[in-house]
A and B are shown apart, each in its own frame.
Chain A
């Protein structure tokens, strides 16, 4: 069974631009969560989707948004990029709603210049 895939793997953007990251969960998984990882901050929870509904959202500004499609694939969008948005963005999928054993993708490394 294929793992969680994320595209693109690397991205360089300029301040003020917007970006869309994509995540394809493991086949059959209906929950997709997004995290931001920065040095010294660990993984910060962004949001979680289950069956196309956002169930939970972390403490991030409204510039960060996401959605999930009927095939469980998910996208996250960051508008008006800031230098501080440079990070590794990780997507994780799990089978059900209980977040038991989330499986992570390799991440998208976003650099904002």
Chain B
């Protein structure tokens, strides 16, 4: 069973606009959530994280929102830049392991 789901396999956004990537989870025992970015031929790179006791964490252009009641988190990128084009994975920590979503390919158009 897929405990962490990214229902949008791809997203296309115009440069300068906001990119919103979504992630849903089913296990209420997850205590920590992370976003990773992956370029082709490279391993994923940690972007930003949020503890389950918070509902928002911001780092520069990246903000992660957590809605525990809806078991939903989102990553906002403002403004979107061409270098943000990559595959984004959300991950949740529970039972001493990270569970990853399937990834969303973000394309930023000039």
Contact = CB atoms under 8 A, between A and B. Distances in A.
Interface of A: 4, 33, 35, 40-45, 48, 55-56, 58, 90, 92, 97-107
Interface of B: 4, 6, 9, 32, 34, 36, 41-46, 49, 89, 91, 93, 95-103
B95 A56 contact: yes
A48 B96 CA distance: 9
Given A56-B95, A101-B34, 5 more contacts: A43-B100, A45-B100, A97-B96, A99-B93, A100-B32
12 contacts: A33-B97, A35-B100, A42-B102, A43-B91, A56-B96, A90-B43, A90-B44, A101-B34, A101-B49, A102-B46, A104-B44, A104-B45
B42 A33 contact: no
Contacts of A44: 100
